[in-house]
Structure 1
Amino acid sequence: MAIFNEPFALANKEVAGYKIYGFPYSTNTWRVLAVLHEKGLSYYPITVNLRTGEQKTPSFLSINPFGQVPVLLDGHLKLTESRAISLYIEKVHSSRGTKLLNHKDYKKMGTETMWMYIESFKFDPPATILTLELAIKPMTGLKTDYKVVNETEPQLEKVLDIYEEQLKKSRFLAGNRFTLADLFHLPNIEYLMNTTTKRLFEKRPNVHRWVTKIMARPAWKKACDPNAWYDK
């Protein structure tokens, strides 16, 4: 794997495996990479440098008009949105690597899917705001808006209170097995556990146990390691 100076010219290049347009510090890119690593799949990385605004260039907008990463190319198929990409990979490779969704027991699959939507609509909105304010802004030289932080943390706490009760009954959110429902939370958690907001997770013992367990997965550690993307 390598960095490419002209990444968008490679869209038609024939390579083995999936092609991923992404950035190795992007939460949404991490989400897809974690699924690929859990499945033991190779991929061909094409770097879109979000820090220099490459996602806003006409060449990338021709690939994803929303100007967001990641984008997955599987032959002539092009997919955007990290959760949709993750579900696609899991479905195609359901028999390989970590089983991230129950494809046989529809009641269990329904529970797993429910928690995936809870992550998307309940956890992600406040967690993303806090990640932006407390992690991304300081990294890019911007000033944190602590008024926003103080308004948003109670929203996240309400979600974590519900998680704490759920995790009293099972090791993971949707049962006793690690699934996409847990994995989808990891990108924001990775950033937030290096900020003052980590206390919200740590003061809830079952949430803290869950966070520690899912963050320790080898596939996750590789997903958010930029060296694994650049293969230095």
Structure 2
Amino acid sequence: MTTYRLHCFKESGNSYKVALALAIAGVTWEKVAVDYFDGQTRQPGWRSETNEMGEVPVLEIDGRRMTQSGVILLHIAEQFDGLHVEASERNEVLRWLLFDNHKFTANLASYRWLRTFAKPAPHEAVLAYMRQCTVAALDIVDRHLADSTFIVGNRLTVADLSMVGYVYYPADELGFDLRAEYPRVGAWMDRVAQTTGWRGPYELLA
């Protein structure tokens, strides 16, 4: 029987992406809590033994480690029928995974981190710039969802699971009330949340 161990912490939306994919796939997995706030991922021993990049998530599959959420999601999609990516849609899924990593999650997660967790707090101009970048990415997704039920076509794929990594965190953390400010994004969030196995980040990674 394959064993899965996920190195993660509950505030990490990138960890949540992988945990959610495993949950939807019906996989039993073990949580390995990472003390990010106390600097565990910066320790030389952790980097040499767990992930040289100093990041979570790290998914162990029978002791073999995988890193980078996009790579892990694609691997999970290859293993489980419910998340399988058809050849005809693979390029589109990859396109949105890359957009997510470079623009959507990159900006939303950075803005959330700076306004909620960073110490000392960043300069107001930095926050304003990051908010502007986040709004630009949200606008793209909101427009796209005007003509698409999910990110790629009419069924849930790992493109959705990548892009929902941070959207379910509380509005007072994000600095956005997504359902109120972006109704199409909100409706998409609700559709994803109706998927069997779905749980929010602070419940799933508790």
TM-score category by the smaller chain? 0.7 to 0.9
Secondary structure of the structure 2 residue equivalent to 1:187: coil
2:193 and 2:199 in contact (8 A); partners too = yes
Matched with 2:85 is 102
User: How far apart in 2 are the matches of 1:188 and 1:157?
Assistant: 14
The structure with the largest alpha-carbon Rg is 1
TM-score (norm 1): 0.76
Q: What's the CA shift string for 1:152-178, capped at 9, x where partnerless?
A: 222222222222222111211211111
> Which of 52, 60, 72 is 2:59 aligned to?
72
Matched with 1:35 is 21
1:116 aligns with 2:100: no
Amino acid at match of 1:175: G
Q: RMSD in angstroms over aligned alpha carbons?
A: 2.5
1:133 and 1:145 in contact (8 A); partners too = no
Q: For residues 229 and 172 of structure 1, do their structure 2 counterparts lie closer, same or farther at Cα, with a shift above 3 Å needed?
A: closer
CA drift of 1:49 comes to 1.0
1:30 and 1:223 in contact (8 A); partners too = yes
User: How far apart in 1 are the matches of 2:200 and 2:186?
Assistant: 21
Q: For residues 65 and 112 of structure 1, do their structure 2 counterparts lie closer, same or farther at Cα, with a shift above 3 Å needed?
A: closer
Secondary structure of the structure 1 residue equivalent to 2:94: helix
Q: For residues 24 and 160 of structure 1, do their structure 2 counterparts lie closer, same or farther at Cα, with a shift above 3 Å needed?
A: closer
CA drift of 1:136 comes to 2.6
Q: For residues 136 and 162 of structure 1, do their structure 2 counterparts lie closer, same or farther at Cα, with a shift above 3 Å needed?
A: same
CA drift of 1:185 comes to 1.6
- Count of aligned pairs: 205
CA drift of 1:215 comes to 4.5
CA drift of 1:196 comes to 6.5
TM-score (norm 2): 0.84
Q: Percent identical across equivalent pairs? A: 22
Matched with 1:127 is 108
Between 1:154-163 and 1:181-190, the stretch displaced more is 154-163
Between 1:204-213 and 1:34-43, the stretch displaced more is 204-213
Amino acid at match of 1:131: R
Any stretches of 5+ residues in structure 2 without a counterpart? none
Amino acid at match of 1:180: V
Between 1:195-204 and 1:72-81, the stretch displaced more is 195-204
1:157 and 1:200 in contact (8 A); partners too = no
Matched with 1:61 is 47
Q: For residues 204 and 25 of structure 1, do their structure 2 counterparts lie closer, same or farther at Cα, with a shift above 3 Å needed?
A: closer
Q: For residues 208 and 184 of structure 1, do their structure 2 counterparts lie closer, same or farther at Cα, with a shift above 3 Å needed?
A: same
- 1:1-232 alignment runs, 5 A limit: 17-62=3-48, 63-93=50-80, 95=81, 99-103=82-86, 106-137=87-118, 142-191=120-169, 193-195=171-173, 197-199=175-177, 202-215=180-193, 217=195, 219-221=197-199, 223-225=201-203, 228-229=204-205
Any stretches of 5+ residues in structure 1 without a counterpart? 1-14
Secondary structure of the structure 1 residue equivalent to 2:55: coil
